[in-house]
Structure 1
């Protein structure tokens, strides 16, 4: 259920170089266009590196009549008209921006050379870990450049795999993605969710495994939902939203409210699905569900934000055939901590929680007597390591993954006593994913690091004296790649308030350190940890520019538990920006890079990070890439799932939080450069038309404000670009062709914006 708790956070999926754990612009209605935009090719006055050419920015209309009173402070919102994605004026503005940014990025020989090299690097087989369901094993594979990974089926681990579901056959351009999968307990049925154009909305279909044919029904209006099968294999619970006015294709901006829990029976139309639970008095609640291993209970995990959940349960044996609402009973009633259900033994359920344990612990609650004073601790909180995930395997064993100084630790404990059974030998890096079930003794887990594309290991608890075996290794199709040619360091640097912050630095293995182009990536929010993982774009940056990658684990993340998260959220949010800026200062002071060679990048909440930092310290960076960022901190809570982010940002309707948000909101802190230290770095703002996690309006308004401000300055010589992609969303499910196109744009922008003295193409 952890994925449901984290599902609505503004995290960028599939684009970040590091591993995000917790838990991708055309508009539709044409109306008469009422304002003209200049697309003349007069170059701005000059000193862009590599003879860069820019254009007059579009004249975005300013509506001075829009003004809001926030607790006595009046704030104008002159670009509010850009919040309407369907307006012809918005469409024209987007088109005008793309007519500047797209040629700027693509009309140079470096774009094609970078694209060719990146495509070659990207073209290697990628595998997911196997998982057993019924009589078969299943795994995902991408042969190299397929737009979407294919789901394969095999009878044994050594038998010939066959295609079970190929999403590439569902759309010519690869923009339909397999976003969710769930097998019935006996493995005979398969439910899967499809997302279009990167939207969070999915359509659930069901399939008969034996015939590999789909049933007729299609479940719609589904978002942020689990698929929880009952153990009789007749159907599953899922969450869906009611019909709403207008579109639900991912390009709309309406808030997501009033999710309800339904039960669907295989082979029946959606209109016959049974309403099982709803909370009409709490429209912002989202309902996750999971059926316990014994099949007797369904547990409802309910969130209203992006942290803290409450729990209810229903007795399915007493309910019998599900024909009406379930009788639900309280387990946890206060939104004050996280609770992830692991497994159960009879009426006793085991949970991972940070209740009175910032680094998390495993507890046991008896459903027949769930009062807090009766809870017991099975595995106490570790003093330093963060318990990141727990799953039950082999009947009576708990597989625990810890984060220790941002690196993964894996070990098994007894479900009966909590005692340590074994430790797994893990290299310095990250456990990417784990598959296993309580009814099987066999597990698989994947490992990745900055220099390791992926290793998949198999272990059988039925053979405890044997060591895990390497089942499959993912290798690049690249002659001459040798991980020994690169160096990975972890440094701890002081932030503004003296807090020690860890940072990974990856570069070529040289004896001396000298200033090189540096890509500094950050996130810092929502209890999400950025752990080491392999990224082709990062490798390309190092190899092409003889560059340096840096990943500071700034506060707001989950690398050091809830204390680390709390020290970077709400009124402490400035710590996140301070940590990031201090990481740049450390890299410069220690000769890894220089101000004219450093580019910062972040997506989603990380886009907010970039936007805030170029306002606060424009002198510190040469370039910036802000992807699908949260830029309007006074109105973020009014669109799609934005209200859930108040748990990290605070609610603007409360004066204390408004005052804090106004201090760093990227949109509201744009300045006109008056001297060289105030000149904005070269800035690329990226968004997409079907992003219904962080609506494109954030990027559109921020770009308009930035361009308006810099046009008034003789100091600003560096470009401010907005690139809006079509048929793409927040990142999940983005086809390979679009991912390579976007990465090419970014690398080309970096080449044209940084002091690059080496280029290997």
Structure 2
């Protein structure tokens, strides 16, 4: 498939200059691959080794260049102050109940991390259980997850450093608040599932080095069982598969179930496999009850030995199925059939199913009995997004959250017996969300497909084509961009700006068919959709090319790079964040192999051609007037490694000869998402300041 050729050690070191900026020297190396007969050059491959001293020095020089440029923006820190003010309000998570204890997260407003509280039944006061703000002096150690044991005696929690996806798992005794001595290391992409005196979890083998690698490919995941009070070295191996290195595996136990469930998902597969065996018979063979490379089944409830779960098998919009005898005949019976709308989530409590349906990018919630008969509906405050309904199976009081673009997240308490909801916690924000408007429009894409897009602005904002506008999108991995309130958008909107959130193909807004229409060889549809949305914003006099920015993160960063390469004339500013920019080598780092299910495999000639045609790094060209660009990444991002952004920045600075800035901003001690509130707000402030400055707009701060 591929032959790597080292043509020359060094082609040359160049300094790119324009009227404003002198960029750091970036040497070009003569490396090329021949893939399906196509010679693909890769002059900045050396930047993939982000722990090499030369790369570290290069990043430091890039940081100086970027900081020097941003310091010229007079309102940069005033924007940051405004963000701190607007986001300084008390926030809660929806509570959940386990064995006589209610748990919830709370943030007083200015805290870097949410604090986990617990309140025992009958107690009048909640108490702090875990405060991640005390984990480190600089706030870069966070709480990755928390999972309480079914008997309410212990809680396992993951700590993450610098935003990395690696977790160390600790256990706290809920009666004494003492942390047990054992620490579970080398875990990533894993929570825990409790059973009796321990829990199941997934891990990787320890690397040769003492530190966890931020770039090394993560392969051969193992399933283990940890018994409380013992060292990790004595944990029991439950499952391994040395013949299939690129897969996610795990085991879990449902509440009141007698089955151990094992799931497997291959790296390049869009489906999964499900196995079961008797929970208390460790030597019993696993029984496969589902296997598909294109569809999925996820058991999520055990009703007296009958497994319930959601499936896309023969139902791309989702359905609820059950298996009465998973260890016997294991035949599936449909309980809730597929509908025109997408089944987005199912929760179980008090002998009922709570069905969350997605209808043109907003939620509706129905209640059904365990036979599938719909017996009620939850009345929501408007068109928005719902989550929650978690708890124990016999709980008669449940909690859920509701939010929309102009409706701050509110937590409701739902009483099963009466079907009534009441507000449990409501955000007391320091601004009036009623001054903002959200309108949903439908844009016709290149092939005639209607693409939903939300337009956020001040109420009554005139459509004169003069509004500074951010087009935001994602378009991949079956991820839906739900309507949700985001206080970080307020500084942009209150200055007369517009934020357009496009629900592109590749996401999950209209089910698996919508997802598949934006993956593998169909990925160009996603970029066509975004281009159509940009053209709509201009033709409908919302904005103009000189006032239009495009922004997205992760897969959305790829979106920004690809769209700007194809239609640079539409945008004045581009800000890709932690983006996948090299579409031919993403599979070589950490869990990048998992993305082949969405992007494709370069071993397939058709998929290689499709990826190469839009790969942001490879498709940059000279003599193109690219928009002003700030590439944002993080030094501890071990999901989309920063090498993607490094190589893209180096190539962009090399090919572009105009006077617009092409900057690389590297957040220190941060990962794929901001490691804490302070770093998150710093990034947002720099993004807005850069956009306004390049558009020639001065905010009133």
Q: How does the TM-score come out when normalised to structure 1?
A: 0.88
Specify the alignment match of 1:279 in structure 2. 241
Q: Residue 639 of structure 2 aligns to a residue in which SS?
A: coil
Specify the alignment match of 2:7 in structure 1. none
Aligned match of 1:708 in 654, 660, 665? 654
**Does residue 439 of structure 2 align to residue 492 of structure 1?**
no
Aligned match of 1:149 in 114, 121, 129? 114
Alpha-carbon distance, 1:348 to partner? 2.2
**Does residue 602 of structure 2 align to residue 619 of structure 1?**
no
Specify the alignment match of 1:61 in structure 2. 27
Q: Residue 664 of structure 2 aligns to a residue in which SS?
A: strand
Alpha-carbon spacing, 1:105–1:359, altered in 2? closer, same or farther (3 Å)? same
Alignment of structure 1 residues 102-501 onto 2, 5 Å: 102-156=67-121, 159-230=124-195, 232=196, 234-246=197-209, 248-249=211-212, 252-305=214-267, 307-319=270-282, 327-368=285-326, 374-383=331-340, 385-394=341-350, 396-415=351-370, 417-426=371-380, 427-461=382-416, 463-464=417-418, 466-476=419-429, 478=430, 481-501=431-451
CA distance in 1, matches of 2:427, 2:599: 39
Alpha-carbon spacing, 1:751–1:326, altered in 2? closer, same or farther (3 Å)? farther
Alpha-carbon spacing, 1:88–1:362, altered in 2? closer, same or farther (3 Å)? same
RMSD (Å), alpha carbons: 1.9
Alpha-carbon spacing, 1:247–1:105, altered in 2? closer, same or farther (3 Å)? farther
Alpha-carbon spacing, 1:382–1:666, altered in 2? closer, same or farther (3 Å)? same
Alpha-carbon spacing, 1:683–1:352, altered in 2? closer, same or farther (3 Å)? same
Aligned 8 A contact 1:689 1:727 in 2: yes
CA distance in 1, matches of 2:205, 2:634: 25
CA distance in 2, matches of 1:420, 1:615: 49
Alpha-carbon distance, 1:680 to partner? 0.3
Moved more, 510-519 or 696-705: 510-519
Alpha-carbon distance, 1:284 to partner? 1.1
Alpha-carbon distance, 1:537 to partner? 2.1
Moved more, 146-155 or 157-166: 157-166
CA distance in 2, matches of 1:432, 1:739: 24
Aligned 8 A contact 1:35 1:89 in 2: no
Aligned 8 A contact 1:517 1:755 in 2: no
Alpha-carbon distance, 1:185 to partner? 0.6
* Paired residues, number: 689
CA distance in 2, matches of 1:157, 1:412: 30
CA distance in 2, matches of 1:629, 1:241: 25
Specify the alignment match of 1:533 in structure 2. 484
CA distance in 2, matches of 1:206, 1:107: 48
Aligned 8 A contact 2:73 2:693 in 1: no
Alpha-carbon distance, 1:512 to partner? 3.4
Alignment of structure 1 residues 573-592 onto 2, 5 Å: 573-592=523-542
Alpha-carbon spacing, 1:57–1:438, altered in 2? closer, same or farther (3 Å)? same
CA distance in 2, matches of 1:357, 1:112: 51
Alpha-carbon distance, 1:340 to partner? 1.7
Aligned 8 A contact 1:226 1:288 in 2: no
Specify the alignment match of 1:9 in structure 2. none
CA distance in 2, matches of 1:624, 1:632: 17
TM-superposition CA deviations, 1:283-315 (whole Å, max 9, x none): 112112220222311111111237311101121
Q: How does the TM-score come out when normalised to structure 2?
A: 0.95
Aligned 8 A contact 1:276 1:326 in 2: no
TM-superposition CA deviations, 1:474-506 (whole Å, max 9, x none): 121x2xx32332211000110011111110001
CA distance in 1, matches of 2:14, 2:629: 21
CA distance in 2, matches of 1:748, 1:157: 50
Comparing both chains, which one has the higher relative contact order based on Cα–Cα distances under 8 Å and sequence gaps of 6 or more? 1
Alpha-carbon spacing, 1:433–1:157, altered in 2? closer, same or farther (3 Å)? farther
Aligned match of 1:720 in 662, 665, 669? 662
**Does residue 673 of structure 2 align to residue 731 of structure 1?**
yes
Alignment of structure 1 residues 676-687 onto 2, 5 Å: 678-687=624-633
* Gap regions ≥5 residues in structure 1: 1-33, 46-53, 320-324
Aligned 8 A contact 2:117 2:127 in 1: yes
Q: Residue 27 of structure 2 aligns to a residue in which SS?
A: coil
Alpha-carbon spacing, 1:158–1:683, altered in 2? closer, same or farther (3 Å)? farther
CA distance in 1, matches of 2:470, 2:454: 12
